[in-house]
Structure 1
Amino acid sequence: MLVIALWRRRTSFDVFDPTIPFKTSGDWVLLTTVVTMFAYIVLLVLLWNLS
């Protein structure tokens, strides 16, 4: 998640411009969703293997 945040900050300079209304690209949302779901699945598998 940190890598995605740094990558977005370096490639999208309009993130910190207060004159531009907030908008999110669908690609960033999809990438973040996939990474988060993968992390939750890994955590779930680790919890199942605990017992």
Structure 2
Amino acid sequence: MTCMICEETRSEGIHICGQFICADCETEMVRTDVKDEKYPFFITQMKRVWYKKDA
């Protein structure tokens, strides 16, 4: 499956609202502090869950 965060093909991960997030991205997102420079990237990518759900 293709991860909606990193857009890589992975086999392990979770499904949220019909979208796939690989285990690596899930782990990184959970450990990322809100002050980290990568936090806004994760927020932007997670917004795609709602856009694709409605599509």
Q: Provide TM-score, normalisation by structure 1.
A: 0.38
Higher strand share: 2
Structure showing greater radius of gyration is: 1
Higher helix share: 1
Quick one: higher RCO (CA 8 Å, sep 6+), 1 or 2? Answer: 1
